[in-house]
Chain A
Amino acid sequence: MWIIFLMGEDFMIKSSLKENKITTLLSESLEKNIATLKDIFIDDDTIAIRFITNCHNTMLKYCIVHNDGLINASIINENIIKPLMLSKVELSRGQQIDILIHQVVLINQVKKTKEWQEIIEAVTYGDTILFIDGESEVLILNSKGFNIRAIAEPDNEKVINGPREGFGEALMMNLSMIRRRLRNNELKIKFRSFGKRTHTQACICYIDSIVNKNVLEELYRRLDTIDIDGVLDTNYITELIRDSRFSPFRATGYTERPDVVVGKLLEGRIILLVDGSPVALTLPYLFIENFQSNEDYYMNFYYSSLARFLRIFSFILSITVPSLYIIIVAFNQEIVPTTLLTNLVRERMGVPLPAVLEVFVMLILFDILKEAGIRVPSGIGHALSLVGGLVIGQAAVSAKLVAAPMIIVVAVTAITGMLVPRVDASVIYLRLLLLILSATFGILGFISGSLIIMTHLLNLHSFGIPQLTPMEELKYQEVKDTFVRGPWWKMLNRPEVLTKNKTRLGSEDRGDCD
């Protein structure tokens, strides 16, 4: 279903990049301006140019320029062309621009400009430019009417209970969803544009009284250093401004849901939204957020605590299980009791490959299956990846190519890896690192590897704040939202690392229960 959206837009585009291309200024002559325009947009056939004159005073000549497809034609017809043509207002050539703004043009947002750059950016976003003969300024009139995807639940962040709205690709629509949830004047929204060629618009949101000003300054400082061709998605910005550039772990959060965004704003975080992408960037980011999901807050806290714990546990499992298997099977067989050992040995009799190679092969195979499952059209996808994997595994065991415990190891690894989507990129690499280390050095390698990973995690920072903070200070108010999800009537304070403005809840308000 196509929805045609009429919106107003705040024209405060702050272009922080220098654009040296267009040096011609606007002249007062309409013909010259249009000639320059045609020159600028040469070979772009979507620009439509329409000359008009006022029917009562044919000396008043205008030209309307818009980009076909981005505009709502009825606005242009009814609100721009009609009033201009039929206006009976007394206008004189050379002094009409203000009167046009105040008395003629029936548009909700109007802006004057002299800059060609602004004109280009406006035309390409769905605004109409009004060139006036005799004026060296033009009017930018809001006439946006492009099609936007309907609001739908994001695929990656599905919940069972709770709101189902998800961001779309239009910045203003996203902002409206946030605005409706935060109805006070402390929510600040600042616009910026990135990308030398794309001039993509982005906005930064934060709640003034809660946010950490140091982080905000640091963010602005880093955004100023961005010097890139085009920004198509939030991830472009993420990679350009994040700490620990080479780390596989995230240093900024992402989400596609407005309720999550507002929740993070209320904790003192800063949100970055980019036009054209439904993904919002949240910063600063704490490591524990990898394991948090907004659904935790909409459900019973016992269950959510268990779910959180399961996620952390499965993250650890997913990384360590293949290495542990190798260690048990190939190096330190003393760990297992005798009966288990004899069973394991029996299973491995007659299997040609050494255990390490088996593990590698099975892991790679499983990753291939997973990727195939994502790309294949949805009808076959699920069936193929999971069942196919198991069937292939079973066949491999029967043909004695792989040992049976191997299948269990791979299945556990894969399934636990899918439980926490935010870290699945890093999980693959960490798993591989641990596997290589344990295959060469046995248990020494495993412990060294896990220490390296631990140190790396401790080194991670996000905009000056260490990512693993809640785990070390062990203060009650900090921990109540990390490994477990404390009930709402216990959440008195916001996380201290994020903000100084701590108090969230008036008092430990238990309602009327016992």
Chain B
Amino acid sequence: MQKAMMSMRQNICIMVLFLVGSSAIMGGSWGVGQDAWIALLIALGFGSIIVLVYARIIHLYPEMDLCDIAQAVFGKIIGKVIIVLMSWYAIHLGVILLRLLSEFINIVALQETPQLPMMIIILAVTGYIAFSGIETLGRLAIIALPLYLFINLYTMTLSVTDIKFSNLLPIMEHSFNALLMASLKIFTTTFAGTVIFLFFADGVKKKNNPYKIYLYSIFISALLLLAIFFLSVMVLGVPMLEKEYFPFYTAVRTINMGEFLSRIELMIFYNFLLGSIVKISVCLLAAEKGLQKVFNIKNKGQVLAIVSFFILIVGMFEFDSVIEIFNFTEFYQYYVLPFQIVIPILLWIGAEMKMGRRRSR
């Protein structure tokens, strides 16, 4: 079977969908109210720097994925440790996303349904997508992303009548420190999440420029996030923004045009579902790739099944409620830094040194 290769367009589409996926309903509750766009821009700045590191790693070792690179740079044992750590990161991310998704559905749509069957069906879908491989996921992303964008654009155009620019004022009301803290949150939850794509670096063709892929993706997703945030703030106003769990969703609920075009929030619901499923599939696939390499299991399906069950069980028991999830996010931004920053920088330094040695030989 040929190795799955992805075109640049597929890469970018998956990444963008991954980055904005769960923000489809969020869009703004980062604790700094109307200044969150400044925090976003700061996070974008930091994000660009770190993705340059990721892209550099891919550039130095073309057509090899994280597992191979880690083993090439640090040797088998430490390499395997790194792979296990990163796979754990992917799994944990999958758990949080899954739980958030099923909680959201529980609150909004299916109130009576227990979360276990919901999670099972979501895992069934994501498992099937992950089983089909990264190439299929890429092609799914190419079709899904325009749809996602279209829905967003459509709802935004419809809310245009309700927006009040004054909700954005006063600018810089919050202290710079608060903005930095918020930008750290944004950075770790969105932009630095692209570290997981190092797992799929072997799908990037040699001739494609990894810098371009990463930079395009984070700029496009930053644009989207800004748009979602602006809309949420301008429609809802700051107090509502802070109070709601899912601000953008609530903002879309207020759209009421012509008496009959008024239940649009289901489209946002669909967007969120789509984005989350893609995100969870990516996590599943990454974990599966990592664990397969570490434990040398040939059968892809087995690894996937194990990972899925693990996510299911942890997802059911890690959090008791939505409140815990949102509180966990405070802790998550620090807990995830070693995976997103420390390990990649170590890899980068190691790779540079190895390359340097090779060249001087």
> Do the two chains touch directly in the complex (Cβ atoms below 8 Å apart)?
yes
**Interface residues, chain A, with chain B CB atoms under 8 Å away:** 331-332, 334-337, 437, 441-445, 447-448, 451-452, 454-456, 458-459, 466, 468, 471-472
How far apart are A62's CB and chain B's nearest CB, in angstroms?
A: 60
The verdict on A447 contacting B139 (CB below 8 Å), with A334-B263, A337-B259 known, is: no
A-B contact pairs, 15 of them (CB 8 A): A335-B266, A336-B263, A441-B121, A442-B109, A443-B109, A444-B105, A444-B110, A445-B121, A448-B124, A451-B125, A454-B143, A455-B125, A455-B129, A471-B143, A472-B143
Number of A-B pairs, beta carbon distance below 8 Å: 73
The verdict on A451 contacting B110 (CB below 8 Å), with A441-B117, A444-B121 known, is: no
Let me know if B113 is at the binding interface, CB within 8 A.
Answer: yes
How far apart are A151's CB and chain B's nearest CB, in angstroms?
A: 43
Q: Complex formed: what's the CA distance from A334 to B269 in Å?
A: 13
The verdict on A337 contacting B122 (CB below 8 Å), with A442-B109, A451-B277, A455-B140 known, is: no
Let me know if B154 is at the binding interface, CB within 8 A.
Answer: no
Q: Which residue of A lies closest to B138 (CB)?
A: A472
How far apart are A286's CB and chain B's nearest CB, in angstroms?
A: 14
A441 and B128 within 8 A (CB): no
Which A residues are CB-close (under 8 A) to B263? 334-337
Task: Give 10 closest A-B pairs by Cβ, nearest first.
Answer: A337-B260, A448-B125, A472-B142, A458-B139, A458-B136, A459-B132, A334-B263, A335-B263, A447-B273, A455-B129
Let me know if B161 is at the binding interface, CB within 8 A.
Answer: no
Which A residues are CB-close (under 8 A) to B259? 337
B132 and A458 within 8 A (CB): yes
Which A residues are CB-close (under 8 A) to B277? 448, 451
B136 and A459 within 8 A (CB): yes
How far apart are A326's CB and chain B's nearest CB, in angstroms?
A: 14
A331 and B110 within 8 A (CB): yes
How far apart are A510's CB and chain B's nearest CB, in angstroms?
A: 32
Q: Which residue of A lies closest to B269 (CB)?
A: A443
Let me know if B118 is at the binding interface, CB within 8 A.
Answer: yes
Q: Complex formed: what's the CA distance from A458 to B132 in Å?
A: 9
Which B residues are CB-close (under 8 A) to A458? 132, 136, 139-140, 143
Tally chain B residues at the interface, Cβ within 8 Å.
Answer: 29
A441 and B142 within 8 A (CB): no
A332 and B140 within 8 A (CB): no
Tell me which of A337, A445, A451, A472 contacts B274 (CB under 8 A). A451
Not counting A452-B124, A458-B140, a sample of 5 additional A-B residue pairs whose C-beta atoms are within 8 angstroms of each other reads: A334-B266, A448-B125, A455-B128, A455-B129, A455-B140
Which B residues are CB-close (under 8 A) to A441? 110, 113, 117-118, 121
Q: Complex formed: what's the CA distance from A451 to B132 in Å?
A: 13
Q: Which residue of B lies closest to A334 (CB)?
A: B263
Which A residues are CB-close (under 8 A) to B321? none
Let me know if B329 is at the binding interface, CB within 8 A.
Answer: no
Q: Complex formed: what's the CA distance from A294 to B143 in Å?
A: 27
Q: Which residue of B lies closest to A437 (CB)?
A: B121
Tell me which of B10, B122, B132, B266 contacts A332 (CB under 8 A). B266
Most chain-B Cβ atoms within 10 A of its Cβ — which of A335, A452, A459?
A: A459
Chain A contact residues: over half helix, strand or loop, or mixed?
helix
A332 and B139 within 8 A (CB): no
Let me know if B328 is at the binding interface, CB within 8 A.
Answer: no
Q: Which residue of B lies closest to A447 (CB)?
A: B273
Which B residues are CB-close (under 8 A) to A455? 125, 128-129, 132, 136, 140
CB 8 Å contact bits of B26-64 with A (1 = contact, 0 = none): 000000000000000000000000000000000000000
Q: Complex formed: what's the CA distance from A447 to B269 in Å?
A: 10
Q: Complex formed: what's the CA distance from A466 to B274 in Å?
A: 23
A444 and B109 within 8 A (CB): yes
A337 and B129 within 8 A (CB): no
Q: Which residue of B lies closest to A441 (CB)?
A: B121
Which A residues are CB-close (under 8 A) to B113? 441-442
Which A residues are CB-close (under 8 A) to B128? 452, 455-456
A454 and B140 within 8 A (CB): yes
Which B residues are CB-close (under 8 A) to A337? 259-260, 262-263
Q: Complex formed: what's the CA distance from A448 to B143 in Å?
A: 16
Which A residues are CB-close (under 8 A) to B109? 331-332, 442-444
Most chain-B Cβ atoms within 10 A of its Cβ — which of A332, A437, A441, A454?
A: A441
Q: Complex formed: what's the CA distance from A442 to B260 in Å?
A: 22
B274 and A468 within 8 A (CB): no
B139 and A466 within 8 A (CB): yes
Q: Complex formed: what's the CA distance from A165 to B80 in Å?
A: 66
How far apart are B262's CB and chain A's nearest CB, in angstroms?
A: 7
How far apart are B245's CB and chain A's nearest CB, in angstroms?
A: 18
Q: Which residue of A lies closest to B266 (CB)?
A: A335
CB 8 Å contact bits of B252-284 with A (1 = contact, 0 = none): 000000011011001001100110010000000
A447 and B274 within 8 A (CB): yes
Q: Complex formed: what's the CA distance from A334 to B113 in Å?
A: 18
Which B residues are CB-close (under 8 A) to A445? 121
Which B residues are CB-close (under 8 A) to A451? 125, 129, 140, 274, 277
Q: Which residue of A lies closest to B10 (CB)?
A: A472
Q: Which residue of B lies closest to A464 (CB)?
A: B2
How far apart are A479's CB and chain B's nearest CB, in angstroms?
A: 13
Which A residues are CB-close (under 8 A) to B136? 455, 458-459
The verdict on A472 contacting B273 (CB below 8 Å), with A331-B109, A444-B109 known, is: no
Q: Complex formed: what's the CA distance from A331 to B121 in Å?
A: 17
Q: Which residue of A lies closest to B260 (CB)?
A: A337
Q: Complex formed: what's the CA distance from A108 to B234 in Å?
A: 88
How far apart are B327's CB and chain A's nearest CB, in angstroms?
A: 26
Which B residues are CB-close (under 8 A) to A332? 109, 266
Q: Complex formed: what's the CA distance from A468 to B132 in Å?
A: 15
Which B residues are CB-close (under 8 A) to A444? 105, 109-110, 118, 121-122, 273
Which B residues are CB-close (under 8 A) to A334? 263, 266
Q: Complex formed: what's the CA distance from A108 to B151 in Å?
A: 70
Q: Complex formed: what's the CA distance from A448 to B125 in Å?
A: 6
Q: Complex formed: what's the CA distance from A52 to B142 in Å?
A: 75
How far apart are A478's CB and chain B's nearest CB, in angstroms?
A: 13
Which B residues are CB-close (under 8 A) to A468? 139
Q: Which residue of B lies closest to A471 (CB)?
A: B143
B121 and A448 within 8 A (CB): yes
How far apart are A463's CB and chain B's nearest CB, in angstroms?
A: 14
Q: Complex formed: what's the CA distance from A445 to B120 in Å?
A: 11
Q: Complex formed: what's the CA distance from A383 to B259 in Å?
A: 43
Q: Which residue of B lies closest to A449 (CB)?
A: B125
How far apart are A464's CB and chain B's nearest CB, in angstroms?
A: 9
CB 8 Å contact bits of B115-150 with A (1 = contact, 0 = none): 001100110110011001000100110110000000
Most chain-B Cβ atoms within 10 A of its Cβ — which of A448, A456, A468?
A: A448
How far apart are A78's CB and chain B's nearest CB, in angstroms?
A: 61
How far apart are B304's CB and chain A's nearest CB, in angstroms?
A: 14
How far apart are A454's CB and chain B's nearest CB, in angstroms?
A: 6
Which B residues are CB-close (under 8 A) to A466? 139
Q: Complex formed: what's the CA distance from A332 to B263 in Å?
A: 10
How far apart are B138's CB and chain A's nearest CB, in angstroms?
A: 9
Q: Complex formed: what's the CA distance from A179 to B117 in Å?
A: 59
